[in-house]
């Protein structure tokens, strides 16, 4: 359950309707029906709700255009970054064709499979590691958990995204969980649970958009500040500038470094990935003050 909903506005395909914006709290079925009628009449796209069940959508939307129903059921609209194109200054970590610049943990050939632009975990072949060390960065990637209806807990579509090889953001089918914990999808494993459950169901593509700030080291090589990260899952903030206490379980090592490569986890399940890229971030902006 969530404490708010928003009707965000809106574009229209009708010349009779001007774009408008709303922020509505305490949205009721009545409003939903009203917005559906309005949408049907003028082609407005956009409703965002996270606690109204899909059956209610169907009831309220009635004969609304199919495209509208599809959009209304995307709870993350309009912040969806699915298939977001990499900017020009990005490192393309997965090129969609092969595993160039990836290795197994022992430095050997990675065992995962690439097919139709998708990177598939090959169970029990081990984790894969990219060769590019990253310090402060913005990372985008997309993942898809397999449908494992009989599986439970950590055996249900498990993989993981290890930032710098040290800090795992969990990948798991947690779509059925009411209150996600520190082992669920979107958690920094065993350290920081996601703020909300932003998961899509198994077999649906999902996004992680991550801003990571590496732990700075002092002159003697000791960590002077903890690593920090902000994570959006499917366009929803699930980790808000959290401090990461240290390497999570199964990290590549316990030594915190300034930079390290991305690692993806083989936990024995057929999780898939695509569209993986990172943009290096400067430590800070300019000190100048030059308004123009
Ligand atoms: Mg995992």
Q: Which CATH architecture has domain 91-280?
A: Sandwich (2.60)
Residue 52 Cα to ligand 1 midpoint, Å, equals: 30
Sorted by where each begins, the domain ranges of the chain are: 4-73, 91-280
Residue 268 Cα to ligand 1 midpoint, Å, equals: 10
- Going 246 to 250 to 252 to 255, the CA torsion angle's sign is positive
- How far is Cα of residue 48 from the mean position of the Cα atoms in its chain? 18
Residue 69 Cα to ligand 1 midpoint, Å, equals: 34
pLDDT digit string, tens, across residues 46-93? 333 333 334 333 334 444 444 444 555 555 454 789 999 999 999 999
Cis before 164 (ω within 30): no
pTM of the model: 0.74
- How far is Cα of residue 167 from the mean position of the Cα atoms in its chain? 15
What letter would DSSP give residue 193? -
- How far is Cα of residue 69 from the mean position of the Cα atoms in its chain? 23
Q: Which residues surround ligand 1, an ion (CB under 5 A)?
A: 158, 160, 265, 267
Residue 56 Cα to ligand 1 midpoint, Å, equals: 34
Using CB atoms within 10 Å of the CB of residue 74, give its burial: 0 to 12 exposed, 13 to 18 middle, 19+ buried.
middle
pLDDT digit string, tens, across residues 229-258? 999 999 999 999 999 999 998 888 888 888
Residue 119 Cα to ligand 1 midpoint, Å, equals: 16
Residue 172 Cα to ligand 1 midpoint, Å, equals: 7
Residue 47 Cα to ligand 1 midpoint, Å, equals: 33
Q: What is the dihedral of CA 8, 175, 127, 125, to 10 degrees?
A: -130
**Average pLDDT across the chain, whole number:** 80
């Amino acid at each position: 359950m969530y404490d708010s909903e928003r009707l965000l506005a809106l574009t229209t395909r009708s010349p009779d309707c001007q774009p408008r914006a709303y922020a509505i709290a305490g949205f009721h079925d009545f409003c939903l029906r009203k917005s559906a009628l309005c949408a049907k009449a003028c082609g407005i796209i956009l409703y965002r709700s996270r606690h109204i069940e899909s059956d209610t959508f169907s009831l309220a939307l009635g004969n609304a255009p199919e495209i509208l129903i599809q959009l209304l059921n995307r709870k993350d609209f309009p912040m969806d970054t699915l298939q977001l194109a990499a900017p020009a200054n990005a490192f393309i970590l997965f090129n969609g064709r092969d595993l160039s610049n990836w290795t197994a943990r022992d430095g050997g050939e990675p065992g995962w499979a690439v097919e139709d632009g998708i990177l598939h975990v090959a169970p029990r072949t081990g984790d894969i590691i990219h060769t590019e060390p990253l310090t402060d960065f913005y990372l985008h990637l997309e993942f898809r958990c397999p449908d494992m209806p009989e599986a439970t807990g950590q055996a249900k579509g498990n993989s993981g995204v290890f930032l710098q090889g040290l800090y795992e953001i969990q990948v798991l089918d947690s779509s059925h969980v009411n209150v996600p914990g520190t082992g669920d999808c979107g958690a920094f494993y065993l350290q920081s649970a996601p703020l909300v459950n932003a998961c899509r169901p198994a077999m649906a593509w999902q996004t992680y958009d991550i801003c990571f700030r590496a732990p700075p080291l002092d002159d003697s090589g000791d960590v002077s500040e903890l690593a920090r990260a902000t994570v959006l899952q499917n366009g929803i903030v699930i980790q808000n500038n959290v401090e990461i206490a240290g390497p999570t379980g199964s990290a590549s090592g316990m030594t915190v470094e300034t930079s390290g490569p991305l690692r993806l986890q083989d936990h024995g399940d057929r999780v898939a990935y695509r569209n993986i890229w990172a943009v290096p971030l400067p430590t800070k902006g300019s000190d100048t003050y030059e308004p123009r």
